Amino acid sequence: MEDVVIRTLEKVELKDPILVEGLPGVGNVGKLAADYLREQLGAKPLATIYSKFFPPQVYVGENGVIRLVSNDLYYWKAPAGPARDLLVLGGDYQGISPEGQYEITHRVLDYCAALGVREVYTLAGFAQGRVVDAPRVLGAATDEARVQALKDAGVVFSRNDPGGGLIGASGLFLGLGRLVGIDGACLMGETSGYFVDPRSAEAVLKVLSKVLHVEIDFTALEAKAKEIDRIAQKIHEAEQRPAEAGTPSSPATREDLGYIG
């Protein structure tokens, strides 16, 4: 087996497509956002990516049938209007080594560039180490004009806010993308980093939907967010009990809470 194998499921012609990447990471914010976008738009499977750089694992379905872990690329053709065609990348894992991260990203970018992609948006979470009731969307971009456009859409840019760097796929798709003529930006939703965060994913998607000129129904995502809120409240109450009993807790350090992927 090659290091990275991309199996095309359907041949398509796309009009000025934009790539949206959302792989597992902090709070699963990027994955939740990309998966929800794909479902809401009814995007269709285009290609499956297999790699030696993913964990050596298969998933077993409810019917007992296995599948090899993968990343998956979907496409959506925009109707007449301001929206452009989209490619949405999601999946089970990011590469488990630095070499794997680079190789998978490079191969996917080459594949997407051949389909006409010249713009990419990567989606991720930014861990704050505390429950965030109203998450901001933090940003990083490949050029100043894009920074200003995203500021107008409500994205917050600060030299200190993603802590000096983006680690993982969401950073590499921007950095390597520039080498092949693909510009773009990363949208990071603030999150505690303690659990899956639909509210942060919703914040990211609301910005992205404005940028992409697509309409999304957030009802199902809001329901998931309310459920997580209930879980977070229970965790908060459980944390208060040891404090009230005089048992000190161990605060997380800034290094523990940095952004990955």
If one compares 257 and 33, the residue with the highest pLDDT of the two is: 33
Phi, psi (deg, nearest 5) at residue 49: -110, 120
Q: What is the DSSP letter of 156?
A: B
* Sequence ranges of the domains in the chain: 4-245
Confidence label for 163 from pLDDT (cuts 50, 70 and 90): low
User: What one-character-per-residue DSSP string does 187-224 give?
Assistant: EEEEE-SSS--HHHHHHHHHHHHHHHT-----HHHHHH
- Provide φ and ψ at 202, rounded to 5°: -65, -40
In terms of CATH architecture, what is 4-245? 3-Layer(aba) Sandwich (3.40)
> Phi/psi class of residue 64: alpha, beta or left (left: φ > 0; alpha: ψ in -120 to 50)?
left
9-23, 25-39, 86-100, 241-255: lowest mean pLDDT where? 241-255
Per DSSP, the residues of 99-149 read HHHHHHHHHHHHHHHHTT--EEEEEEEEE-SS--SS--EEEEESSHHHHHH
Encoded tokens for 113: 């560039």
**Residue 254 pLDDT class (50, 70, 90 cuts):** very low
**Sorting pLDDT into bands at 50, 70 and 90, what band is 246?**
low
User: Is it the case that residue 256 has pLDDT exceeding 70?
Assistant: no
This prediction's pTM? 0.88
Average pLDDT, the chain: 90
pLDDT tens, residue by residue, 91-135? 999 999 999 999 999 999 999 999 999 999 999 999 998 888 899
